[in-house]
Structure formats: C-alpha cells, structure tokens
Structure 1
Amino acid sequence: MTYRQRISLFIFIDSVIVVTSIFFSRFLVDASFSVFTVSTTIISISLLMSHHIFAYKFKLYKKAWEYASIGELVIICKAITLSIVLAAILQQLINQEVYYRLLFVTWMLHMLIIGGSRFCWRVYRDTYIKNNDSRKRTLIIGAGSAGTMVARQLLNNESELLPIGYIDDNAKKQNLDILGIPVIGGIDKLENAVAELKIDHIIIAIPSLRKKELNIIFNECAKTKAKTQILPMLEDLITGKLSVNKFRDVQVEDLLGREQVELDIDSISEYVTNKVILVTGAGGSIGSEICRQISEFNPRQLILLGHGENSIYSIEMELRELYRTSKIEFITEIADLQDEKKMMAVMDTYHPNVVYHAAAHKHVPLMERNPEEAIKNNLIGTRNVANAASWHGVDTFVMISTDKAVNPTSVMGASKKLAEMIIQNMNKISNTKFVAVRFGNVLGSRGSVIPLFKKQIEKGGPITVTHPDMVRYFMTIPEASRLVIQAGSLAKGGEIFVLDMGDPVKIVDLAKNLIRLSGNTIEDIGIEFSGIRPGEKLFEELLKDDEVHDQQIYPKIYVGKTAQLYIEEIEQIISTYPNLSKEEIRKALLSLANRTAVSQTLIPIEA
C-alpha cells in the first residue's frame, strides 16, 4: 500500500467513525430514531472538519500504529478532545446551545472506536505475529536507560533480534515490565533464563560497565550457547559515530587489561602542538599508534622513521587520509638505527622537539637465538638515536621499554634494561630530557599471543600455551601509546615511568576467553601446554623491589628510582660482541643487566 493510499484509507475510516458515532450517541442520549435533525447534521459536519484538522496537526495519519504506545494514545486524546471542543464552540455560535451530553458520549465513542481501531493492529501484531516470529530471541543485560533504548530500537525497527526479557541486578526493577518486556532477575538468573526462554542472542547494554564487571557478566554468558554482543563504546554513542543498535562482538580487549588512564590534554598540547615530532619504529604496532594519537594534537611536522618500507608506507597513507584537511606535514624516513651518520643527518635536517623511540627487537625467543641482533638494534640503535637527539638539542626523548627489563631472564629483557641505562646516563650529560616508559604485554601487537591464538582457532586448534601457571600484564595498544605520550609531558629527566596495570592475567584464561569469543567451545578447540621457552618467566614484574616509589606521579602512573648505571661495561659489550659466541653474548648481557646496586639519588616525583 502506497503512502497516499494509506492516508486516504485512514481519512475514510475516521470519517465513517466520526459520523456514525454522532448518530449513535444521539440514539443513546435521546433514545430516538429521528437522528437526522438539523442540529445533528451541524454537529456532524463541524466534528468531521475539526477532527481532520487536528488529525493533520498532530500527524495522526503518519503514525506507524503497529508500534503504538502511550505517546500515540495521548495524541489521539488531544486530537479528539480538541475536535469536540471546537464542535461545541461552533454549536454555541450557530444554535446558541451546546448539547453537552451528546458531545460527551460522542467523545467517549471516538476514544473507544478510533483509539481501539489503531491499537487493534498493535495487539494483533504482538499476540499473533510475534508468537510466530522467526527473529532471534534476545535477552538484554541492563534494564537502565541504555537497555530500554535498545529494546525500543529493536521493537520499532525491522531488526532480526526480538527482545524477550531483561537481566538486571537492581532489585527494584526485577519482576517489572519495561516496554512490555519483563525484567527476569539478576545476573545469577541468566543461565536459567537463556535455557527456559530459548534465547539465541544476548546483548550487554551497560555502556559504563567496568572491565571487572564485564568479565563477570561475560563468564556467565559463556556458560550458555547464545551469541553475546555489546553496545558500542560510550564515546562513540555520545559523539554519534555509532547508534545504539550497532552492536559489536565482545573483544578480548574488553575483558583484559585495566581501566584506561585519561590524558592530561593541556600538558600534552603544550609540548606537542605545532612542534616537530619524530617517531622511530613508526611502522610498528606501538609506533604507528603513537603517530595516530600525536596527530590529534596537530604537530607542525611528524617524521615517521622506520626500517621497513611497507609498514612506513602503510601508516603514512593512513595518516594522510585521516588528516588530509589538517596542516600537519607528514614526512617519511627509511633508515637503520645502526647507521649513526643517518641518525645525525635526520636530526640535523628536521631538528625535532620530541623523539619517541619505539624501534626495537622485542621477540623473546628470536632474540635468544640471535643475541647479537639485540645488541645492534636495542643497544647500538638506542645509543645512536639518543646521541643524535642530544647533539641537535631535542627537548624530550621518550624511549619505549618493557616489563621484561625487570630482573631479566631473556636477551631481549636484558638488552632493554641496558638501553634504559644508556638513556638515563644521557640525561645526566645532556640538556635533553631523557625518560623511559615501561609496560607489559600489548594486546594485538605484532608478535603477541593474541594474533597467534586467533590463527590457531581459525585452523580448528589446538591453542598452544607454554605453562598453565604463566601470567602476564596486559594493556591495549591505544593505552600503551597514551602512556608514552603522557610520559613526555611529565618528564623532568631520567625517570622510568611505569603504568599500574592492575592484576596480571593467566595466559590459559586468555586462551579460553578467545575460544569462547570465537563462538567455539574449549572442548572443540583444545589447549595444549608446550613448556616454557628459553628466556621466559612464569610471571613478569614492572619494578624491582628496590626501584619502587609508592607515590603515583599521575593517576595510575608510577616512577622508578634511579639504578646504578654501568655505562663502561655496556660500551665494552658493544665493542667486543662481534668476537663473542651467542652464548657468551647472552651471559654478558644477563650478568650486567641483573646487577642490583642502586644509587642514593631518587628521581623527583612531584607532579
């Protein structure tokens, strides 16, 4: 039926209802069959005209009555009441008399018949059509404003999801109906509710949910076979990037890590906006995210330096597209950190204000097999970039480090620990502020367990975990990058900044969550334990006991004490490693990195 045909049908039906209800009212009031009188005809004409006027004004004919609710009933009441009032006024002007009883009965009949005719389709739809609905039966977790908004969207739109009930821990809402949908109970009732109501789909509709709470809810959802989805991020809803019905799958990032640290925008803008910024390792997972977030602060120039041309090209094209209307100048430099002259030339050409040193070899087993490469990239490369930055008067130098630098048992961790010493020593002899930022594993970064586990799941399993008790700290790539950027604004020189990463996560639990998120069962995919690899520890630390300051320099950010620096010994390793065997290099790195002396000088921690 076309829109014009629909309007015509409504006008015809309402006209019949208005006219017949007047004559029927006359019969009820006067018990007279002589209904065709002059007064009745005048009332009929005036009521007919006024009804269509107010129906047009209140858009009564444009409503989708299959979704009618209280709002539509109020509009019907307004239109009918005002049309009766207008008819009474016309009656007074023409006849000098108002038939109150007749108009009142007419008003009641209009409300009953017009309102009833509109709601009949709604009742039919809810009673008969929904009972035979082929849509996915959906349970909404959260009966607050977001949950009711989701339910309304699903009811009022042609969605494949049919809301059946709510789950909410608020006892005041339980056993109530919201939008005609029952609040079944708390999260402890979820598993039974899914089974009893034959639920196919679960939507978590609590945008402000904290990660620990989400973990609890997801674990309950994982006990069922229903597909679990979640509302978009709160900031995406507020900014309008996504609507409330754009559900997404629960990601491992939602379940792991910690609540994100908010940035001090003003302090970051002060040292980044309209400045020249250089990022080494700009094509890597951390380096590229630093570039994305730095671009939000409108630097004058952003130099993307890296060894791999494909990754540098990729991030360059992405940034040029994202910020094509900005005045940021994106510059790419393909360079090897071991080329000291090239590092000097880059600094001399661009004179950056801030350097983020994200380039490094970070794969633990690979560095165990190739310790000389860890020296080349992580030690010599860091020294070259730091010397060039100091020589050319860079304001702030921020180096990316790792929790594996604490009591290192691997070549990679040891090389990063010694690289920290290099930049702390540079801070003593340079006007440049040198700092390091230390954090745990980054979810989804290249070489991390997440991509590996996902590939293993895609192949049908099994997932390989080194040890059932292996635990790690986790954070997201954006959060790691925020920490790096924030550290630059907090830097006084010489600090090692550490993020409070909350509780460590068992790798086996991470594997189980990924299996569930993929829609599989642990029994289907399977988990095998392969044994701890060379250089690995069962657990990681972010600070040694003798490095810890209890006070936070910024919410969720700590700063470590200054350790004894063994610069001469580091230089000796750098100069002699070509003549050493792989095992000798490994022993030299680990021996030096695990010396425990700590100086008496403490880094200032005032914010």
Structure 2
Amino acid sequence: MRLPTRSALSLLALDLALGLAAWWGAFWLRFNFDIPPEFARLARDASGWCVLGLAAGLVVRRVDRQVWTYIGLPEFRQLAGGVFLGGVFTAVVVLMLRLADFPRSVLLLQPLLAFLFTGGVRAAWRTLAEHRMQGQGGTPVVVVGSLDQAAGALRALKGSQRWRPVGIVSPLAGERGRSLQEVRVLGSVDELADVCEAADARTALVASPPGSPERRQALLVAAEAHISLLTLPRPDEWLKAESTGPRRIELEDLLGRDPVALDVAGLADLFSGQVVAVTGAGGSIGSELCRQVARFGVGRLVCIDVSEYGIYQLEQELRRAHPQMQAAYYTANVREYERVHAILCQHRPTVVFHAAAYKHVPLMEELNEIEALRTNVLGTLNAARAASACGARRFVLISTDKAVNPTNVMGASKRLAELMLQALAAQQTGTQFVSVRFGNVLGSSGSVVPLFTQQIDRGGPVTVTHPEIVRYFMTIPEAAQLVLQAGLMGRTGQIFVLDMGEPVKIVELARMLIRLSGKTEQEVPITYTGLRPGEKLYEELLADDETTEPTPHAKLRIAKTTGTLPDIEAVVRWIAQAGALPAGAPLRIWLRGQVPEYAPRDEAVNTAAR
C-alpha cells in the first residue's frame, strides 16, 4: 500500500484540527457561548474520540487524497460522506461510554460545523488558486453557446493557464446579462465580432453541439472578423494523449450529429476473442472498421487490400496502437476467388466486412465500366462465397446511396452487388449476408473534401459542378460504427439504410471549408463546371419501390425491396464473356436489364433496354 505524501498528511492534520475546532464550537453553541466547567471537562475528555472518528471517516472515504486546487462538487460530496462517517463513529463511542450528562445535541452540531469548516477552507483554497492562475494571464477567449452548453466549456477551462474566458455569446435572448462562474453573457452569436473586440479577444470557443446552427453562424461571423474558432475535443479524442484541451474547429464539427450509440455488450460478444476479416482494409472505411474492431478486443484481425501501400500504412498504424493484437496483412485482389478463399480458410473468420470496391463515379462511367462490374459485382460474390465456404457467421457488404435509382455505372454495379448477395443468401443458409448503404463520407479518398482543400490551398477557384447539387455526409468513425451495429443485428438478405441526417448543398460545404481556412469567398472564388457523366443532383437512400421498417437502433432502418433476384451464374458468365474492353452501350443495356431502376442518361440505352 502506498503511504500518503507529506503534503497529504499536512492537509489531513488540518482537517482534524478543524474537526476538533468544530467539536468545541458545538459545545460553545450548545451552551450559548459560555461552557460550564463540568461540560468543558466532558468536551476535553471526549475530544480524542472525535478526532479519531473524523480521521477514520476521512480515510475510509479517501478524502485525504483530494487535490484542493481542483476541488469541485464530487470532492465536496466525498468530504460530506467522510465527515458523516466520522460523526457516526464519534456518536457510537460516546453513547457506548455512557458519559454522564453528555449533551447529545453536540453529536449533531459537530459534523455540521466540521463540514462547514473543512469545506470552507477548501473553497477558499480553490478561489485563491484560481485568482493566482488568472493573475498569470492567459489568452482571452469568448465562449459560444447557451449557459447549459457553456457550463462544460468553462469547467474545462478552469485552472487553465493558457485560456481565460472573458465572456459568453448565447443564442438565447433571455440569457443576455446573466452570468455563469463569474463570466457574463455579453450578447448573441450574431454579435460575436463586437463582443470579441470589446473584450480584446481574438479567439472563440464553440461549446454548442456538433451540427448546431450556432456553430455555422459562428463560423460565418468569425471568418469575416478574422477570429480563430476552437472547440472542445470529442469524447473519443479525450482518450488520445495529444488531446490536452481546445482544438481548432473542423468540418466534422459543423456537419456532425449526436454521437452514435452502440450496443457495446453485443459487439463485444461478437468480436471479443474472434477472428474478423476486412477486405479493402487499406481504404478510408476499411481502415476505420479495422480500428473500431480492434477496440473490441478481437482475437485476430485479417486485413486484405489490393494496395500494397495502403496495407503497409494500416499495418504500421495498428502495430503502434494495438501492439498485443494478433493481425495478418495480405495484399490480394477480391476478383481472384482462389486467393481470397485461401486466405479466409486459413484464418476462418467469424465476421467478414467487405469494403473493397471501385467508387469513383466519373472514372467508372467512361472507359472503365467493365472494371466496376468485375470488382464491385464479381469481387463481392467472390468474397461472399469464400466467407460462406470458410464458415463465417456474418458477411457485411458496404454499399452506397448511389445504388438507389442509379444513374451511373458505379451505382448500378453496387445495386447489382446487393441483389447478387440477396440471391446468394437464398442459397447459402449458414452465413448471414447483410448490406449497409450510406452516403458520402467526410475525408474519404475520392470525396470532395480533400479536393476542395487542395483547391483552397492553391488559392482557388473551388470547383462545384452545380449550385443545387446536394449530398448526404457522415464522418468516417460514425459510418464505421453503424456498419458494425448493422452487422450485429442484421438477418440474412437484409439491406440496412443509415440515418444520414439532412442533405448538405455541396456549394455550402465549399463555403464552410473556405471559411475554416481563414479566407473569404472574395479571396477564394467558387466556380461551377456542370454535372459530370453519371452524376445526379440529389442522392437517395431508398429506391422508389422500396419502403423501410424501423430497427431497435434509431439510426438504422431496413430497406424492403421487391423484384426478381438475378441468376448468379448467368451474371458471372456475361461479365466473363464481355471481354477486356467491351463497348459502353451494350454493357449499359445489359446492366439495365439486371437493375431495372438503373436510368442512364443515354436515352438510346434506356429505349433499347425497354
């Protein structure tokens, strides 16, 4: 057992001295400030038991381990428990000794006074410590958010030598003029620039939740006034060593939603000690799936990707983050069934997540259509068959919102992959085959965010295809967590749809990124280039002939589809016989026959298919 330090013993001695003072104070109050001699002797004789009882109560409640400089309500509750236990101990001993004419009211008064004295000294200590820290300076910062939201931020900044809160701007008009922890509400979010100027602050800390209107409004005002915006780390970031306080606000903070609630117990049962395989493990979603699965104590993680560099980067990261985890890293192409089958049968995973795919719409729309079919359709079929042959309990396909009423080859190929998986599910009953659809993922490879960031760094222009084009967005961790949740609760043949929140205009996204870079649209202009081949203005998560039904998870719904499932072997034969460089029009006509909701822009293709 570790012995208490000298400072801890000194503070404990001070507490006991205050408890003893409370003992005499209780007698003093009991006898109206004039203790008779005979009762003074009683107080003196029993004072040792009071000190011993208080010491026992404080030690049992571990009050002696408190750091007074950072005392708060939890510590005061802990102190109250220790003083109460000490009072009970003292009362029991005094009553057992049967001291003649002992005033029992003292036994009630003493704990109250002891808590008042010891708590008062702690509060004074904390106040002096805060004044001392404030006297040492710190960068002035204005907090953005309602009083409820600002309370957490002010607690995080208390005791910080780097930041000094000087005011609050609240979206609630009724809170103006009120104060919290001696910090006043000085105005509304629209007045952020004026408040910062009056308080001589060039930094604002946004305490309102991710995705709130206050965050976006603060960004607009801050960019015009050249005010730096900060926010508190997300819950997962507090666990990282480098997260020591406020950080710069990011796009995810402006578009985010409430954190995903996971069935942690169920996921731990599914993954803990089990073998899990991930295809496309070097990609944005695949690598995040690996990170999330690793958190649940997976027995062995099998990572498969066609990119040597991608799988190398993932290996280096996971070895640093989880040095004790067993893992295997393979370079392999899901289009080669024998290779995938050999890998999965070597490790026999319980769950397989299939994230390997071609997903770049314009690139797959011209010259590479057959590649989309070979990877997205045959690659999915190969991985699913191999998983079933090797005894996997679950196979989860990562699909896309572009599979709904597709207007491009990439989306149609992913929809055909969903259908092929449902057809396989009808044949293979030993494995649960599930598909999960979601929209664009912030920061993923090939998404607009990295492209816009590069264009902003070059000084512009930022190119947007159409002023009205909208997309659904989700953060990479959020998407991966919901994929895990769907994989846990899904039954074979089901297609899950993720709650993507509200769609975002791409031009609005571009404006937010420009403002986040500290620039204005005058400095970095936005230009419109027109829709690209296969691109549509609005993405959907459900096809016209689909309905959804709820699940126990608020952010997951099940898509109910109708129609005939494809002939698996006929699809495999056609793709194999199409050759290395088939013409685009016949391929689209065939694809239209397999996916009736596919509506390419080429009207001749639609007419021929009909």
| Same fold by TM-score greater than 0.5 | yes
Kindly report the root-mean-square deviation, in angstroms, between the aligned alpha carbons of the 2 structures: 3.2
What residue in structure 2 maps to residue 67 of structure 1?
none
Segment of structure 1 superposing worse, 141-150 or 385-394: 141-150
Query: Partner amino acid for 2:144?
Result: I
Take 1:148 and 1:557, find their aligned partners in 2: how far apart are those partners?
32
Report deviation, 1:399: 0.6
What residue in structure 2 maps to residue 570 of structure 1?
571
Identify unmatched segments of 5+ residues in structure 2: 1-67, 70-123, 599-610
**Percent pairwise identity:** 40
Report deviation, 1:545: 2.6
Against the structure 1 CA distance between its residues 467 and 596, is the aligned structure 2 distance closer, same or farther, given a 3 Å change threshold?
closer
> Helix, strand or coil for the counterpart of 1:584?
helix
Take 2:433 and 2:293, find their aligned partners in 1: how far apart are those partners?
19
Counterparts of residues 331-480 of structure 1 (less than 5 Å):
331-369=328-366, 370-431=368-429, 432-480=431-479
Report deviation, 1:256: 1.5
Q: Which deviations, in whole Å up to 9, do the C-alpha atoms of 1:37-70 show, x marking residues without a partner?
A: xxxxxxxxxxxxxxxxxxxxxxxxxx99xxxxxx
Q: Which deviations, in whole Å up to 9, do the C-alpha atoms of 1:502-548 show, x marking residues without a partner?
A: 11100000000000001111110110111110010111011113212
Take 1:234 and 1:275, find their aligned partners in 2: how far apart are those partners?
27
Does the 8 Å CA contact 1:470/1:538 hold for their aligned counterparts?
yes
Query: Partner amino acid for 1:582?
Result: A
Against the structure 1 CA distance between its residues 199 and 596, is the aligned structure 2 distance closer, same or farther, given a 3 Å change threshold?
same
> Helix, strand or coil for the counterpart of 2:557?
strand
Query: Partner amino acid for 1:419?
Result: A
Query: Partner amino acid for 2:392?
Result: V
Match status 1:138 vs 2:141 = yes
Following TM superposition, where does structure 1 have runs of at least 4 consecutive aligned residues deviating by more than 6 angstroms? 152-155
Take 1:186 and 1:263, find their aligned partners in 2: how far apart are those partners?
36
Against the structure 1 CA distance between its residues 283 and 242, is the aligned structure 2 distance closer, same or farther, given a 3 Å change threshold?
closer
What residue in structure 2 maps to residue 554 of structure 1?
553
Against the structure 1 CA distance between its residues 586 and 470, is the aligned structure 2 distance closer, same or farther, given a 3 Å change threshold?
farther
> Helix, strand or coil for the counterpart of 1:390?
helix
Does the 8 Å CA contact 2:219/2:516 hold for their aligned counterparts?
no
**Whose radius of gyration is greater, 1 or 2?**
1
Q: Which deviations, in whole Å up to 9, do the C-alpha atoms of 1:464-486 show, x marking residues without a partner?
A: 11111110000011111112111
Match status 1:166 vs 2:163 = no
What residue in structure 2 maps to residue 107 of structure 1?
none
Q: Which deviations, in whole Å up to 9, do the C-alpha atoms of 1:148-183 show, x marking residues without a partner?
A: 676687685543x55432213456653245565432
Q: Which deviations, in whole Å up to 9, do the C-alpha atoms of 1:59-90 show, x marking residues without a partner?
A: xxxx99xxxxxxxxxxxxxxxxxxxxxxxxxx
Query: Partner amino acid for 1:541?
Result: E
Take 1:340 and 1:236, find their aligned partners in 2: how far apart are those partners?
39
What residue in structure 1 maps to residue 534 of structure 2?
535
TM-score using structure 1 length: 0.71
> Helix, strand or coil for the counterpart of 1:524?
coil
Report deviation, 1:460: 0.9
Take 1:480 and 1:240, find their aligned partners in 2: how far apart are those partners?
20
Against the structure 1 CA distance between its residues 553 and 424, is the aligned structure 2 distance closer, same or farther, given a 3 Å change threshold?
farther
Counterparts of residues 209-358 of structure 1 (less than 5 Å):
211-234=212-235, 236-237=237-238, 246-325=245-324, 328-358=325-355
Take 2:597 and 2:146, find their aligned partners in 1: how far apart are those partners?
55
188, 191, 200: which one aligns with 1:189: 191
Against the structure 1 CA distance between its residues 478 and 585, is the aligned structure 2 distance closer, same or farther, given a 3 Å change threshold?
farther
Does the 8 Å CA contact 1:577/1:585 hold for their aligned counterparts?
no
What residue in structure 1 maps to residue 525 of structure 2?
526
Take 2:468 and 2:149, find their aligned partners in 1: how far apart are those partners?
39
Take 1:453 and 1:510, find their aligned partners in 2: how far apart are those partners?
9
Take 2:548 and 2:596, find their aligned partners in 1: how far apart are those partners?
20
Query: Partner amino acid for 2:548?
Result: H
Take 1:157 and 1:390, find their aligned partners in 2: how far apart are those partners?
56
Against the structure 1 CA distance between its residues 458 and 561, is the aligned structure 2 distance closer, same or farther, given a 3 Å change threshold?
same
Query: Partner amino acid for 2:295?
Result: E
Report deviation, 1:304: 0.6
Does the 8 Å CA contact 2:211/2:254 hold for their aligned counterparts?
no
> Helix, strand or coil for the counterpart of 2:357?
coil
> Helix, strand or coil for the counterpart of 2:352?
strand
Report deviation, 1:347: 2.3
Report deviation, 1:191: 3.9
Take 1:233 and 1:524, find their aligned partners in 2: how far apart are those partners?
31
Does the 8 Å CA contact 2:210/2:253 hold for their aligned counterparts?
no
Q: Which deviations, in whole Å up to 9, do the C-alpha atoms of 1:392-438 show, x marking residues without a partner?
A: 22111101110001111111111111111111111000021111110
> Helix, strand or coil for the counterpart of 1:523?
coil
Does the 8 Å CA contact 2:461/2:525 hold for their aligned counterparts?
yes
Against the structure 1 CA distance between its residues 572 and 209, is the aligned structure 2 distance closer, same or farther, given a 3 Å change threshold?
closer
Report deviation, 1:218: 3.4
Query: Partner amino acid for 1:394?
Result: A
Does the 8 Å CA contact 1:361/1:412 hold for their aligned counterparts?
yes
Take 2:230 and 2:217, find their aligned partners in 1: how far apart are those partners?
15
> Helix, strand or coil for the counterpart of 2:445?
coil
Report deviation, 1:236: 4.5
Does the 8 Å CA contact 1:415/1:589 hold for their aligned counterparts?
no
What residue in structure 2 maps to residue 200 of structure 1?
202
TM-score using structure 2 length: 0.71
Take 2:328 and 2:548, find their aligned partners in 1: how far apart are those partners?
39
> Helix, strand or coil for the counterpart of 2:523?
helix
What residue in structure 1 maps to residue 584 of structure 2?
583
Does the 8 Å CA contact 2:210/2:257 hold for their aligned counterparts?
no
Against the structure 1 CA distance between its residues 294 and 320, is the aligned structure 2 distance closer, same or farther, given a 3 Å change threshold?
same
> Helix, strand or coil for the counterpart of 2:578?
helix
Does the 8 Å CA contact 1:230/1:247 hold for their aligned counterparts?
yes
Equivalent residue pairs, number: 472
Identify unmatched segments of 5+ residues in structure 1: 1-62, 65-114, 598-607
